Amino acid sequence: MADLSNLGVERTLVLLKPDAVSRGLVGRIVARFEDSALKIVGVKMKQMDAEFTRKHYFDLEERAGSEIYNCTADFMQSGPVIAVAFEGVDAVAKVRKLIGPTFPNEAAPGTIRGDFAHQTKASSEVSGKAVMNLVHASGNSEEAKYEVELWFGSDEQFDYETLAEKLAY
């Protein structure tokens, strides 16, 4: 396999949140990432407990406050999530572009949140419930590295070459 390190190839984490799983949108969402030439290098389903949620969202309480952390933690523990490690050129930025802004009502049509999520920031505040926006994605390269390593051991990440890589590189 060719050395792609100089092309900006990186790994990033996507969590399909409990709302994506319970609504049966997993396949449709994952297909969006694969359609954009990102490859799956790790995947698992997990029920997050309080300890693991704290590790994943280690800085959320500091950044957003305990009310938002608690609301997010409760939501993320309300059902199983599917964690997917994706790899590709500029994977972090590409994933962020594909999912759209945090609040679904601000997400453009064609993005995952714009097409499949419907909650507004205001409705979340009124209901006291977390924003059900289907997916979590690493915010930057450093966060991606931390999150991929948190969710996947080295024996759970795979290196292989896709047909798209063979053709493009």
Phi, psi at 72, each rounded to 5°? -65, -45
> Which one is catalytic: 136, 144, 147, 151?
136
The tokens for 151 are: 């969710």
Q: Is 136 a catalytic residue?
A: yes
Beta bridge partners of 109: 111
Question: Which residues, including other chains, have CB under 8 Å from residue 68's CB and lie 6 or more apart?
Answer: 60, 61
Beta bridge partners of 16: 82, 135
Strand order in the sheet with 9-16: 39-46, 81-89, 9-16, 135-137
Q: Are 111 and 99 in contact (CB under 8 A)?
A: yes
* Catalytic annotation, residues: 136
